[in-house]
Structure 1
Amino acid sequence: MKLNTLKLIAMKKITFVFLLTLITTVYVSAQEINWLTLDEAIALQKKEPKKIMMDIYTNWCGPCKMLDKNTFQNKEVADYVNKHYYAVKLNGEGNDVVTYKDKAYGNPNYDPAKANRRNSAHELARYFQINAYPTVLFFDETAEVITPLRGYQTPPQLELYLKMFKNDDHKNIKTQDEFNTYYNAFKAEFKG
C-alpha cells in the first residue's frame, strides 16, 4: 500500500511538472502585439511615419475574441504588425475619450451596467461608420483612413491586407477586377 501511495504521489508530481511546462511553453510562444492608444499612435507617426491598424471590438463579441486569440496572437502576424504598423485597440462601445483630428470623442450614453453586453456606440466608432464587430480599420501615415476590414480574419487573410497597405499596393487597385487579380496572385506566407 505504501508503494502505491508513493507511485501516486510521483505521478501527480510528474503530471504537475508536465502541465506547468506546457502552460509556460504556450504562454512564451504566444506573441503579443504592442497595442497603443490612438493618441499615442498618432504622436508616434509624427516622429516615425508608419500606418496604423486599429482593432475595433466589443466585450461581448465572439468573433472579436477569436481575432485576438487566433490572429493577433499569431507570431507572424504580431511580428509583422509590430514592425510595420502602430497597432491600436478601440472598444467600439467603450467609454474611453479618444482624440482624432483635434476633436475628442467619447461615449456619453455609455452604461457601466452593460459593460459586457451591447452598449451605446462610441462616438468615434460612429464617426468611422463602424456597424460590425470586429472591424480592423487601416490608416495611412498621416492618420487618414484607408479602409475598414469587417469581420473575423485568419492570419493569412489579414496578411493580404497588412502587406497590401504597407506596400501601398492598394493605390494601384481601382476596380473589383483589379482587386480580384491582386487577391488571386497573392501568396500568403503566414500560417494559421
Structure 2
Amino acid sequence: MKKLVMLFLLIPFIGSAQDKGTHFEHGLTWVQVKEKAKKENKYLLVDCFTTWCGPCKYMSNTIFPQDKMGDFFNKNFVNVKVQFDKTTGDSEEVKGWYKDADSIGKAYGIKAYPTFLIFSPNGDLVHRIVGGGDVDGFIAKAEKALHPETQYYTLLKKFEAGSMSPQAIKELVAVAEAAYDPDNSAKLSAAYLKTQTNLYTKENLDFLSRSIKDSKSEGFELMLKNRKKIDAILGKDKVDKILSDVVLKENIYPLLRSATVNLDSLIAVVKAKYPSIELNRSTSLLQVQFYEKTQKWIKYQPAVLSYMEKYGKDADGPTLNSFAWTVFENCEDADCIAAALSWSKRSVEKTQHKDAAILDTYANLLYKMGKKEEAIVIEQQGLDLVSAEEKGNYQKTLDKMKKGEKTWVNK
C-alpha cells in the first residue's frame, strides 16, 4: 500500500514534466485539432517535420521545451506536430496521420523542413515560417501570425486585390522568399518591377538581380542584352557574375550528384549554349571545388593552380588559406606546394599575423618545403594565439616539427 501511495504522489510531477515548454496535441485527428483551435479561439500551429531533419530535431528537443516558448505558444496557439516521412518505427498515432500529412503537403506546398503553417481560429491559413531559430527569433516570427497587417497570406490577398503600394509589394517579396514560396516571389517581383518607370537605378538593378531565378526570368534576358549599361551602374563584370550563377545553377549543379558525371564535358556544353556570357571564372572555381569534394587530386592540382594564376589576385585571406591547406594535405608536387606557400603567406599578411589557423597553415607548408626553423617560429606564434582548449593540437604539431616528423599524411 505504501508503494501505491508514493506512485499516486508522483503522478502530478510526472504530468508537469511532460508538459514542460510547448504543449503539442496527441491523440487527436486533423479535424479534431482544427475544432479545438476554433473552440478555444486560438491560432493553430502545425509543425511539419521529418525524422531525418536536423533542424527539426533541434527545434523539438532544444527550442520548444523551453519555458519562454511554452508561455507564448500555449497561450496563443493549439500546437500539433505532423510527420511527413514514413519509417518502419512509426507509432499508430503517426500512421493515423499519413493521409492528412500527404494532403497537407500537397495543399500547402511543403517543400522544406521544418515548415510551420499557422491557421486562424476559423481554419484559414494566415502565415508560414520555414526553418528554425533561437527562442526570441522564432517567437518574433510567430508573433507576426497574430496580426493581419503582418500575416503573410493576408498580405498576399491584399496584393491580389490590387490594394498594395509598390514599396509594400517589394517588402512582401522578401517575406515570400523567407516563406520558401518561389511562385509568389516571382509574381510579386514582376509586379513590383512593372511599377518602376526607370529600371536602371542601382536599387532596382540590385532587386532585379535577386529576382532572377532561372534563364526564363525576364531579368535574365534584360541583363544579357544590356550588359554594358548595367555594368556601368553595378560594377565591372557584375552582369556576367549574376548570369553565370544562374546558368550553373540551372545547367550544372543538378547533375553533379551523379557518380559518373564528367564536369569538363558539362562545362563545354554550357559554354557552347551561352557563348555571350563570360563563364570562365565561375566554371574554374567550380572545378576546384568539385575536384576537392570528389578527392580527384590529380585534377585538383592543375585546376587550383590555373584558377589562382588567373583570378587569385582578388582572393581574400580565408580563400587563400583554404586552398593552401588543401594543397598541403593532398599534393606532393614541389611546384604546387611552393605556389600554395605563396598563397598562405599572402593570407598571413592579410590577417596581420593574428589568425592562428592561418599561421598554422603557413607553418606546415614551410615545414613541408624543408624550412624547419622558420616553420617552428611561425607555429609557435599560432600556439601563442589560441585558447587553452586548442593548445593541445598546436603543441602536437610543434613537437613533430622539432622532432623532424611528418605533420601530414601521405595520400
Please report the TM-score for the alignment, with normalisation by the length of structure 2. Answer: 0.30
Residue 62 of structure 1: CA displacement? 0.9
In structure 1, the residue matched to 2:59 is 67
SS of the aligned residue for 1:96 comes to helix
Q: 2:34 aligns with which of 42, 65, 84?
A: 42
In structure 2, the residue matched to 1:31 is 20
Alignment of 1:21-170 (within 5 A): 31-36=20-25, 37=28, 38-94=30-86, 96-98=95-97, 106=99, 122-170=102-150
Q: 1:162 to 1:144 in 2, by over 3 A?
A: same
* Cα distance in structure 2, aligned partners of 1:124 and 1:145: 11
Runs of at least 5 residues in structure 2 that lack an aligned partner in the other structure = 1-15, 87-93, 156-167, 175-411
* Cα distance in structure 2, aligned partners of 1:169 and 1:67: 27
Note the alpha carbon deviations across 1:118-145, whole angstroms, 9 max, x for none. xxx7332222210111111111111111
Residue 83 of structure 2 aligns with an amino acid whose one-letter code is: N
Alignment of 1:12-27 (within 5 A): none
Moved more, 131-140 or 27-36: 27-36
Residue 35 of structure 1: CA displacement? 1.0
Residue 176 of structure 1: CA displacement? 4.5
Residue 65 of structure 2 aligns with an amino acid whose one-letter code is: Q
Q: Percent identity?
A: 21
Q: 1:47 to 1:29 in 2, by over 3 A?
A: closer
Q: Rg larger in 1 or in 2?
A: 2
Q: 1:49 to 1:28 in 2, by over 3 A?
A: closer
Runs of at least 5 residues in structure 1 that lack an aligned partner in the other structure = 1-26, 99-104, 108-120, 181-192
Q: 1:122 to 1:34 in 2, by over 3 A?
A: same
Q: 1:50 to 1:28 in 2, by over 3 A?
A: closer
Residue 178 of structure 1: CA displacement? 7.3
* Cα distance in structure 2, aligned partners of 1:30 and 1:123: 29
Structure with the largest fraction of strand: 1
* Cα distance in structure 2, aligned partners of 1:157 and 1:167: 17
Residue 59 of structure 1 aligns with an amino acid whose one-letter code is: T
SS of the aligned residue for 2:143 comes to helix
SS of the aligned residue for 2:122 comes to coil
SS of the aligned residue for 1:130 comes to coil
Given that 1:54 and 1:88 are in contact with CA atoms closer than 8 Å, whether structure 2 keeps it comes out as yes
Q: 1:29 to 1:50 in 2, by over 3 A?
A: closer
Residue 30 of structure 1: CA displacement? 8.6
* Cα distance in structure 2, aligned partners of 1:132 and 1:149: 10
Residue 151 of structure 1: CA displacement? 1.2
Residue 165 of structure 1 aligns with an amino acid whose one-letter code is: A
How many residue pairs match? The answer is 136
Given that 1:30 and 1:74 are in contact with CA atoms closer than 8 Å, whether structure 2 keeps it comes out as no
Alignment of 1:175-190 (within 5 A): 175-177=169-171
* Cα distance in structure 2, aligned partners of 1:143 and 1:30: 25
Q: 1:124 to 1:69 in 2, by over 3 A?
A: same
Given that 1:70 and 1:155 are in contact with CA atoms closer than 8 Å, whether structure 2 keeps it comes out as no
Please report the TM-score for the alignment, with normalisation by the length of structure 1. Answer: 0.59
